[in-house]
Amino acid sequence: MPVKSVTVRVPAKVNLQLSVGPKEPDGYHNLVSVFQAISIFDDVTI
């Protein structure tokens, strides 16, 4: 069976602010992000 691939164009972004909260009981941290998409793209193939 041939391997199938998919290519998509994904926009870049600039993080204007990224805040990491304290560690939660499950071991994860809450994140708050403020970002702006910009007109630069990457082509990603999976």
pTM: 0.51
Q: Which of 10, 4, 11 is nearest to 44 (CA)?
A: 10
Report in angstroms the alpha-carbon separations of 34 from 1, 9, 14, 18, 44: 44, 22, 9, 7, 24
Q: Which of 36, 38, 30 is nearest to 16 (CA)?
A: 36
pLDDT value at position 22?
97
Domain boundaries, the chain: 7-45
pLDDT value at position 1?
80
Q: Could you report the per-residue pLDDT of 1-46, keeping only the tens digit for each?
A: 888 999 999 999 999 999 999 999 999 999 999 999 999 999 999 9
